[in-house]
A and B are shown apart, each in its own frame.
Chain A
Amino acid sequence: MGSESLPPWASQPCMMGIDEAGRGPVLGPMVYGCLYCPLSYQKTLASLKFADSKTLKEEKREELFESLKEDKSIGWAVDVIDPRELSAKMLKKDKINLNQISHDSAMGLVSRVLKMGFLLSEVYVDTVGDAEKYRCKLSEVFPGIRFVVAKKADSLYPVVSGASIVAKVTRDRALRNWVLHESVANTHRNFGSGYPGDPETKSWLDDHKHPIFGFPTLVRFSWGTCSSYFKDAVEVIWEADKEEEDGSNNKSGKRQLKLSSVGFTGQKRKSEEVESSAKGRSKFFQSRKLELVTDFH
């Protein structure tokens, strides 16, 4: 996605803004967007009235997005991260937190635009986590670029405001046109904003929970919000969680949830209950989880 054939200004020093949309919501994709233009275009850009996308109405955002797409001196690109990808990464055995995912996505956009052949000299980024640490990380990966990492960069720098419009419009469209992967009857599309506090989002979650599967894959299972909906769901125990309970790995982010604790009914279960360990038998059988069964239960 994004603009394609290389404009003549690609070889001039360019600036880029990067912002995200849909980081907080419990459902739908997270979108990283960027907008870039030659440094010489900076003044014109400031006159285009790209405010922080959150302060604009949806129609205004759509309108601005359409006009920046037409602008021959502006390029843009997006990275749409599927909620399945977010859940999978945040619930991996070696968990990847949302900040890490965000950093990777932003860096992916920078390298994509560099590879297309644009000469990026300045990149403005709305911060995720500690701004200075983030800036150091970016500068290390892209030594030729000057990075400005700031809180509320989307309201400070027009190029980031533009990026936030790109990201927000893309996220809204993606959610609006979302096709559920599940073939379940009685689904509806009143997702609301996707933010956990939104009553519409809450009732969508209520309407689409499932005792075994939890939710459709539109939902980010790694969000803490999911836990209250799983209270009466079937308990599922994963090996990765067992290790976590045993101590050591407790650095998981606030939003990440231990699914094993969901619906727990009291006593802890030992791994032997979950799968056969072939205890006391030859190593050949132990490593193959082969157990001698004399009767079934």
Chain B
Amino acid sequence: MEFKEDLDSMDDRRSDVADFIDLKSLDQVTDLTSQIHNLPCCIRHDGECQVSDYFKPKKTGVVLEGLEVEEGSFRGRRLRGATVPVPDGYRGLVLERRKDMGKGKGVEASDENSSWEATAKFDNITYWNHDSFPSQNDALMRFLHWFPVADALHKPVTVEDLGCISNSLDQKL
């Protein structure tokens, strides 16, 4: 299955180019579930690293606001976090720019159209706060609110939905 989306239609400066995201081989791609961490800092490094040798988070057994609190540390700072599933109907992907594109251009021109490839997938993400306990007010938890909102705004209304609404209206009356 090839997934191609014309993302550039939203940007009128670049009307005739398109970014590609290739989801062809999602079944063979590495599953990084439970290995994706969102840290409360910016690490100016892009590349591989033996993370699990050093980063050994633990479950604390404490549950706060429905979140199982985990604890870890990075560069001396205490991290507290929680693991959150990717919402139903969505999928977490790690994308990498495809190397064979942009031929003849030499430099990877960031303003040109580019092709992306999913190199890994994940079904959950562990996010970390510096010191503070995870809470439903954290940006990552609140960002999940977008999904039901997006559904309400964009999901096509089915006949069943209309049936449900009229039923509940009948009950109220």
Contact = CB atoms under 8 A, between A and B. Distances in A.
Q: Do A and B come from one complex?
A: yes
Given A213-B55, A295-B19, A296-B116, A87 B8 contact: no
Given A182-B54, A210-B54, A295-B7, A220 B143 contact: no
Q: Chain B interface residue count: which class?
A: 35 or more
Interface of A is mostly: loop
Contacts, number: 109
Nearest to B14: A295
A92 B130 CA distance: 8
A296 B142 contact: no
A251 interface: no
Interface in B9-54: 10-11, 19, 40-45, 49-50, 52-54
Contacts of A259: 75-76
B53 A236 contact: no
Given A287-B139, A288-B143, A88 B77 contact: yes
A220 B76 contact: yes
A238 B75 CA distance: 10
B131 A239 contact: no
B139 A93 contact: no
Contact of A238 (B41, B55, B95): B41
Contacts of B11: 294-295
A56 to B, nearest CB: 33
A184 interface: yes
Counting from the closest, the 7 A-B pairs by CB-CB distance are: A221-B76, A87-B76, A88-B78, A213-B54, A234-B45, A235-B44, A237-B42
6 contacts: A88-B73, A237-B41, A290-B143, A294-B7, A295-B8, A296-B116
Given A88-B73, A295-B11, 15 more contacts: A87-B73, A90-B76, A91-B77, A92-B131, A181-B56, A212-B49, A217-B73, A221-B75, A235-B43, A237-B44, A238-B40, A263-B44, A288-B139, A294-B10, A296-B95
